C-alpha cells in the first residue's frame, strides 16, 4: 500500500509507562506529565488504569488523576478498564473514552486476569455494551500478538480470533501488542496482513515493545502496509507486571524523529516532547532509554 502521510500517535506513558514501577509516583507529577504531553501535541493520551490497586498499586490514584486533568479540546484522554466495576468508576471520574484488553495467549490471560481468553470475552462484552449505552468509545488492546512469555510462539489465527471478538464488541480501534518485544519485521508484517483480512487496516494500531531493539523496524514494516496508528511512551517508559522479560515501550521521541525524517506528519512537537522527557528524568527520577532523547540532550549540552 505504501506509507501513510499522517500517523496518529497514542501516548501510553502515564498508564503503561508507569504501571510497573515499584515506587509510587505522586499524583501531581502524573498530572504534570500528562499536561506536558498535551502541550507537545499528542492527540491521544492514555492517562491511567481503573484496575484494583491490589494488583497494580501504581494506579491507586486513578480517580484523582482522571478528575485532575486540565483537559484540552484537541486531546483525547483515555483510560484502561478491566471490568464493569472499573468502567463505572471511570465514568464517575469523567472518562469519555476507555480501553479494554485481552490476550492472544491463554497462559498470559490466566496470569493477567485469572481466566482464559474465551472467558475474558464475556467480561469485556459487558463493558463494551455499557460503554455503548453511554456513548463512550472503546479501544481494544491485544497482548502477546507476536509471542508470549509463558508459551512462546503465538499462532496468528489466535490473534485473529481475538481481533474478531473485539471487533464484534464494537471496539473502534484495535491495538496489536508485542508485549515482550520479540517480534521482527517479517513476523510483524505477516501478522498484520492476516489481521487486516478481518478488520480494515485503518482501524489497527501497533503497540511494540523494544526489548530486542526491533520496535522501530517493526513499526516501519507495518506502516508500509498502510497502518497509521502507533502507540508509544515518552522516554521509552514501560513494562508489564505479568511479563518480566518485557522492557519499555518504543520511545515516543524515537518514533517522532523517524517519522519527521520520512516526511510523515504527526502533529507532535519534538522539542516539547523532549521537555516532557526532561521532567520524567529530572523530577520523576526515571532515566530515559530513548536514543533520540539521549542524543539531542548531549547535543544541546555541547553548545
* Cα–Cα distance, 203 to 65 (Å, whole number): 28
C-alpha cell at 169: 464488541
| Inter-residue contact 268 to 42 (CB < 8 Å) | yes
Pairs from 269-275 (Cβ < 8 Å, separation ≥ 24): 269/40, 269/41, 272/36, 272/39, 272/40, 272/41, 273/37, 273/40, 273/42, 273/234, 275/36, 275/39, 275/40
Cα–Cα distances in angstroms (integers) from residue 217 to residues 143, 154, 251, 253, 258, in the given order = 19, 20, 13, 15, 10
Query: Beta partners for 78?
Result: 46
C-alpha cell at 44: 491521544
Place of cell 527520577: 285
Q: How does DSSP classify residue 152? A: B
C-alpha cell at 189: 508484517
> Could you give the count of Cα atoms lying within 13 Å of 259 in the half-sphere of its Cβ?
27
Which are the contacts of 121, defined by CB distance < 8 A and separation ≥ 6?
102, 165, 169
Planar angle of CA 182, 140, 171, nearest 5 degrees: 145
* Cα–Cα distance, 189 to 239 (Å, whole number): 23
Is-catalytic flag, 240? yes
Query: Beta partners for 230?
Result: 9, 206
* Active site (catalytic) residues: 240
Amino acid at each position: 500500500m505504501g506509507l501513510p502521510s499522517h500517523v496518529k500517535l497514542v501516548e501510553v506513558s502515564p498508564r503503561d509507562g508507569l504501571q510497573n514501577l515499584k515506587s509510587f509516583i505522586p499524583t501531581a507529577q502524573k498530572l504534570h506529565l500528562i499536561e506536558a504531553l498535551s502541550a507537545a501535541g499528542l492527540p491521544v493520551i492514555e492517562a491511567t488504569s481503573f484496575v484494583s490497586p491490589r494488583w497494580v498499586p501504581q494506579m491507586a490514584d486513578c480517580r484523582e488523576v482522571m478528575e485532575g486533568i486540565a483537559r484540552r479540546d484537541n486531546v483525547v484522554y483515555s483510560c484502561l478498564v478491566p471490568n464493569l466495576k472499573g468502567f463505572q468508576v471511570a465514568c464517575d471520574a469523567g472518562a469519555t473514552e476507555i480501553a479494554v484488553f485481552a490476550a492472544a495467549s491463554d497462559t498470559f490471560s490466566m496470569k493477567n486476569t485469572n481466566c482464559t481468553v474465551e472467558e475474558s470475552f464475556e467480561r469485556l462484552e459487558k463493558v463494551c455494551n455499557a460503554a455503548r449505552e453511554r456513548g463512550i468509545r472503546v479501544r481494544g488492546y491485544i497482548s502477546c500478538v507476536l509471542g508470549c512469555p509463558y508459551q512462546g510462539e503465538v499462532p496468528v489465527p489466535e490473534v485473529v480470533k481475538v481481533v474478531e471478538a473485539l471487533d464484534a464488541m464494537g471496539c473502534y480501534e484495535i491495538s496489536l501488542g508485542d508485549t515482550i518485544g520479540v517480534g521482527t519485521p517479517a513476523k510483524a508484517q505477516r501478522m498484520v496482513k492476516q489481521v487486516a483480512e478481518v478488520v480494515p487496516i485503518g482501524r489497527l494500531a501497533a503497540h511494540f515493545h523494544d526489548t530486542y531493539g526491533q520496535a522501530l523496524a517493526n513499526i516501519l514494516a507495518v506502516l508500509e502496509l498502510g497502518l497509521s496508528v502507533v502507540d508509544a511512551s515518552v522516554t521509552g517508559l514501560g513494562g508489564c507486571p505479568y511479563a518480566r522479560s518485557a522492557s519499555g515501550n518504543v520511545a515516543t521521541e524515537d518514533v517522532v524523529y523517524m517519522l519527521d525524517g520520512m516526511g510523515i506528519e504527526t502533529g507532535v512537537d519534538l522539542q516539547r516532547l523532549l521537555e516532557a522527557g526532561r521532567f520524567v528524568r529530572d523530577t520523576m527520577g526515571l532515566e530515559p532509554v530513548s536514543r533520540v532523547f539521549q542524543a539531542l540532550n548531549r547535543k544541546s549540552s555541547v553548545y
